A and B are shown apart, each in its own frame.
Chain A
Amino acid sequence: MAQETLPTQGVNTIIEAIDPREARLGRAAAVFRWGALANGVVVALILLIALLSGLGVIPGLFTAMHQLLLGRTAGADDAAVAGTVLLIQLNITALMVLMVGVLAREIWGMLGAWLLALVNLVGLFALGFTPALLTVITAVWAGVVVGRDVRAFRLNPVMLKELRGRMRGARAFVVLTVYLGLMSGLTALLYLVYTPASRATGSAAAGEVGRVLFMGIVGIELMLIIFIAPAFTAGAITGERERQTYDLLQTTLLSSSSFVIGKLESALSYVLLLLLAAIPLQSIAFLFGGVTELEIILSFVILTVTGVALGTIGIYFSAAASRTLAASVRTYTSTLVATFALPLVLTIVLDILTGGIRTLSPVVEAVLTYIDDILVSLNPIATALNTQSLLINQQEVGFWAHTLASDGSTIPRVSPWISFTIIYLVVGAILVVLAIRRMHQVEE
Chain B
Amino acid sequence: MELIIETKNLKKRYGKFEAVGNLSLEVPVGSIYGFVGPNGAGKTTTMRMLTTLTRPTDGQAWVAGHSVTQEPRAVRRAIGYMPDEFGVYDDMRVWEYLDFFAACYDIPESTRRGLIDDLLELVDLNHRREDMVDKLSRGMKQRLSLARTLAHDPQILILDEPASGLDPRARVEIRELLVELAKMGKTIFFSSHILADVSEICTHIGIIEAGQMVAQGSMDEMRHQLMPHREIVVTVRDQETADRVKSLVGDADGVVSASIIEPKSGRSRVRIDFIGDDDGVAALNQNLHAAGIAVMGFTEETKDLEAMFMRVTKGMVT
Write the residues of chain A forming the contact surface with B, with a CB cutoff of 8 angstroms.
1, 3-4, 6-7, 15-16, 18, 154-155, 157, 160-161, 164-166, 168, 243-254, 442-444
Contact = CB atoms under 8 A, between A and B. Distances in A.
A4 B54 contact: no
B85 interface: yes
Interface residues of B, number: 41
A243 B104 contact: no
A265 B63 CA distance: 35
Given A154-B109, A250-B52, A251-B51, 11 more contacts: A1-B59, A15-B73, A16-B72, A16-B73, A243-B88, A244-B86, A245-B88, A252-B76, A252-B101, A252-B104, A443-B54
Given A252-B105, A442-B52, A247 B83 contact: yes
B71 A16 contact: yes
Contacts of A3: 58-59
A442 B53 contact: yes
B100 A157 contact: yes
B91 A168 contact: yes
B296 interface: no
B106 interface: yes
A443 B52 CA distance: 9
Interface of B: 9, 48, 51-55, 58-60, 67, 69-74, 76-77, 79, 81, 83, 85-92, 96, 100-101, 103-106, 108-109, 148, 152
A166 B100 CA distance: 15
Contacts of A164: 91-92, 96
Q: Majority SS of interface residues in chain A? A: loop
A284 B297 CA distance: 97
Contact of A157 (B52, B60, B69, B103): B103
A248 B81 contact: yes
A254 B109 CA distance: 15
A442 B54 CA distance: 6
Nearest to A156: B103
Contact of B101 (A160, A248, A444): A248
B89 A245 contact: yes
Nearest to B55: A442
Contacts of B58: 1, 3
Nearest to A259: B104
A157 B89 contact: no
Contact of A251 (B9, B74, B76): B76
Nearest to B59: A1
Contact of B69 (A1, A4, A254): A4
Nearest to A246: B87
A16 B73 CA distance: 7
B60 A251 contact: no
Contacts of B53: 247, 250-251, 442-443
Contacts of A16: 71-74
Given A161-B96, A254-B104, A247 B76 contact: no
A253 B69 contact: no
A224 B48 CA distance: 42
A4 B148 CA distance: 32
Given A1-B59, A6-B69, A16-B73, A251 B106 contact: no
B89 A161 contact: yes
